[in-house]
Amino acid sequence: MGCGGSLPREAAQLVPSHGSNGAAPRRQTPQAAWSWRGLGLSDHCWYFRMEDNGSFARWQSNTQAQLGYVIGLILSLTTASLGFAVVLLRRLLNPPLCVASVFVALSIVVLVLSGAIAIVCTINRLCDFRKTTAIARDREKWQRAKEPDIESKLHDRRSETNRLGKRTWNLLWWQIGTFAFGMVTLVIGILLQFVPYICRGGS
């Protein structure tokens, strides 16, 4: 899975290092006796093995969790801003059309686009999760069955999850950018409408 996914449980398990004859693991230091395996958890590496599972797994998991929080947070702010913009536009359309109403209407369009991007981003992440889980499951099954060329069999599927991960991050930046642009246009509309009124002393 690409960086846009989450850390699969199967890929995060610690497995003991065995000898070539499959015997019980030799007495080693904790760092040498255990290895950490994961599948496709970076944009440039589909498979990695680290002798010390310390900080990488923890920070990778935190990154995926924070990614979900950011998507949800921006979507919540977008929804709240959209509701405010709609109410404001209805108020501005009571008099004849003005410049402020144009900016508010533009902000509504952009905020709707931002919300749509967030939904697409979430669906893309779910597809990433599902495909990565299938990869981890098939890999374990084929390893137990001693299937040959497991890595080559999974290459295309890992490439696909890697693309899904990159797409998630691209969609996130588009979501943030459209939300920011929508908020800027909304603030401009508010200023155009209410600053002259305030400057006139509310008359």
Classify residue 162: in a domain, yes or no.
yes
Pairwise CA distance, residues 180 & 172, whole Å? 12
Confidence of residue 186 (pLDDT cuts 50, 70, 90): very high
Judged against a pLDDT cut of 70, whether residue 33 lies above it is answered with no
Classify residue 34: in a domain, yes or no.
no
Residue 61: the pLDDT is: 76
Classify residue 115: in a domain, yes or no.
yes
Torsions phi, psi for 22 (to 5 deg): 75, 10
Judged against a pLDDT cut of 90, whether residue 183 lies above it is answered with yes
Judged against a pLDDT cut of 80, whether residue 54 lies above it is answered with no
Classify residue 180: in a domain, yes or no.
yes
**Residue percentage of the chain with pLDDT more than 70:** 67
Q: Give the count of domains, the chain.
A: 1
* Neighbouring residues of 93: CB distance < 8 A, sequence distance ≥ 6: 101
Pairwise CA distance, residues 116 & 174, whole Å? 11
- Which stretch of DSSP H or E encloses residue 16? strand 14-16
Mean pLDDT calculated for residue range 11-17: 42
Confidence of residue 155 (pLDDT cuts 50, 70, 90): confident
Residue 85: the pLDDT is: 92
Pairwise CA distance, residues 142 & 148, whole Å? 8
Pick the range with the lowest mean pLDDT from 2-11, 153-162, 182-191.
2-11
Mean pLDDT calculated for residue range 39-43: 40
| Contact in structure between 16 and 53 (CB atoms under 8 Å) | no
SS3 149: coil
| Contact in structure between 15 and 34 (CB atoms under 8 Å) | yes
Torsions phi, psi for 36 (to 5 deg): -115, 130
SS3 14: strand
Judged against a pLDDT cut of 60, whether residue 143 lies above it is answered with yes
Pick the range with the lowest mean pLDDT from 14-28, 59-73, 137-151, 186-200.
14-28
SS3 15: strand
Classify residue 96: in a domain, yes or no.
yes
Residue 12: the pLDDT is: 42
Mean pLDDT calculated for residue range 163-172: 93
SS3 27: coil
Closest CA to 114 of 67, 68, 182: 182
Classify residue 38: in a domain, yes or no.
no
Domain that holds residue 98: 64-199
Classify residue 86: in a domain, yes or no.
yes
Task: Please provide the DSSP assignment of 28-82 as one string.
Answer: --HHHHEEEEEES-SSS-SEEEES--HHHHHHHHHHHHHHHHHHHHHHHHHHHHH
**Residue percentage of the chain with pLDDT more than 90:** 33
**Between 79 and 146, the higher pLDDT residue:** 79
Residue 91: the pLDDT is: 82
User: For the chain, percent helix, then strand, then coil, each to nearest 5?
Assistant: 70, 5, 25
Task: Indicate the average pLDDT of the chain.
Answer: 75
| Contact in structure between 12 and 57 (CB atoms under 8 Å) | yes
Classify residue 57: in a domain, yes or no.
no
Confidence of residue 197 (pLDDT cuts 50, 70, 90): low
